[in-house]
C-alpha cells in the first residue's frame, strides 16, 4: 500500500505508433534489400504480432511458409540475425528522419512524470538499438531511470521477466508502479509482475482482449490536440476529460 512512484512505458504502439508504418515497412524493405519478393501486408503482420520479438516473427513466418528449408539451424540463426540487423537500420532511419511521430500525449505525460519526481522507465520487446534511438534521440530531454530492451531478457512478453527487471531497477514494489501498454501480451506481462496497467489502443490492438488492464483509453490525449476515449475505468474517480494526466494516475492508483 502506498503512493504511485513510477511509470513504465512499453515502446512500440505506446511511445510511437510503430507497427503498421514502422516495423512492418522496415521488415519489407529489408526483405527487398536481400532480394526477396515476399512481403507482410497489414493483415499478415497483425497475425505475426501475436509472436513477441522481430527475429521470432521472421522464424515463425519462414517455417509456416516453408521458406529456406535447406538452411541448418546455425545458418538460419545467422540469416535471421543479418536480416534483422538490416531491418533495424531501416527502422531507425524512419525514426531519425521524423517519419514516425510520437503518439498523442506521450511526451506530455513523461514531462508530467518528471515534474512529479516519478521514476520513468522503458520496457520493450524491441532491441536495444531501436529503444535507444527513441529514448536518446526523439525523447532525449526525458530523464529515464532505465531502458530495458527485448534482447536484455531471456523471455519476452507475455512473460513478466522484463517487468520484474524494471521493478528491480526502480527499487520499487509492484503496487507503486503503473505500466502504459497497448497489447494483450504486454498487459499480461505487466499483470504477471503485479503492476497496474493503463492500455492505449491502436489499429493493431483495438480488437484484442485488453480487459485485464485497469484503464483502457484510445490514446493518452492532449489538451490542445487529439482527445482519448475512455473504454474501461472509473470515469468519476479518474476525472477523465479526454486527457490522462499524471496527477490523475497518482490519485487513481495510490492507496
Residue 192 in contact with residue 163, Cβ under 8 Å? yes
φ, ψ dihedrals at 37, nearest 5°: -105, 0
How far is C-alpha 83 from the chain's CA centre?
21
Supply 141's cell numbers: 530531454
CA distances to 27, 57, 194 from 212, in Å: 30, 25, 12
Spell out the SS3 assignment of 192-210.
Answer: HCCCEEEEECCCCCCCCCC
Supply 168's cell numbers: 528491480
Instruction: Give catalytic residues, as residue numbers.
Output: 10, 12
Q: Are strands 177-181 and 146-148 parallel, antiparallel or unpaired?
A: unpaired
Compute the distance between CA of residue 197 and CA of residue 178 in angstroms, rounded to an integer: 5
Compute the distance between CA of residue 198 and CA of residue 209 in angstroms, rounded to an integer: 14
Amino acid at each position: 500500500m502506498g503512493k504511485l512512484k513510477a511509470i513504465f512505458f512499453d515502446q512500440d504502439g505506446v511511445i510511437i505508433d510503430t507497427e503498421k508504418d514502422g516495423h512492418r515497412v522496415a521488415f519489407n524493405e529489408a526483405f527487398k534489400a536481400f532480394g526477396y519478393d515476399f512481403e507482410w501486408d497489414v493483415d499478415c503482420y497483425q497475425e505475426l504480432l501475436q509472436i513477441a520479438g522481430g527475429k521470432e516473427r521472421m522464424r515463425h513466418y519462414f517455417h509456416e511458409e516453408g521458406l529456406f528449408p535447406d538452411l541448418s539451424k546455425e545458418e538460419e540463426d545467422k540469416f535471421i540475425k543479418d536480416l534483422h540487423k538490416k531491418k533495424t537500420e531501416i527502422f531507425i532511419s524512419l525514426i531519425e528522419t521524423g517519419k514516425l511521430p510520437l503518439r498523442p500525449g506521450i511526451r506530455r505525460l513523461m514531462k508530467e512524470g518528471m515534474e512529479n519526481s516519478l521514476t520513468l522507465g522503458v520496457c520493450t520487446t524491441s532491441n536495444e538499438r531501436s529503444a535507444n534511438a527513441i529514448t536518446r534521440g526523439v525523447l532525449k530531454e526525458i530523464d529515464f531511470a532505465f531502458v530495458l530492451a527485448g534482447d536484455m531478457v531471456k523471455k519476452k512478453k507475455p512473460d513478466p521477466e522484463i517487468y520484474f527487471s524494471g521493478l528491480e531497477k526502480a527499487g520499487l514494489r509492484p503496487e507503486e508502479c503503473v505500466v502504459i501498454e497497448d497489447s494483450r501480451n504486454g498487459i499480461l506481462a505487466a499483470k504477471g509482475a503485479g503492476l497496474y496497467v493503463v492500455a492505449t489502443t491502436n489499429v493493431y490492438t483495438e480488437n484484442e482482449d485488453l480487459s485485464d488492464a485497469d484503464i483502457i483509453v484510445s490514446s493518452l490525449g492532449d489538451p490542445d490536440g487529439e482527445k482519448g476515449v475512455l473504454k474501461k475505468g472509473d470515469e468519476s474517480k479518474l476525472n477523465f476529460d479526454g486527457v490522462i494526466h499524471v496527477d490523475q494516475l497518482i490519485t487513481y492508483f495510490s492507496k
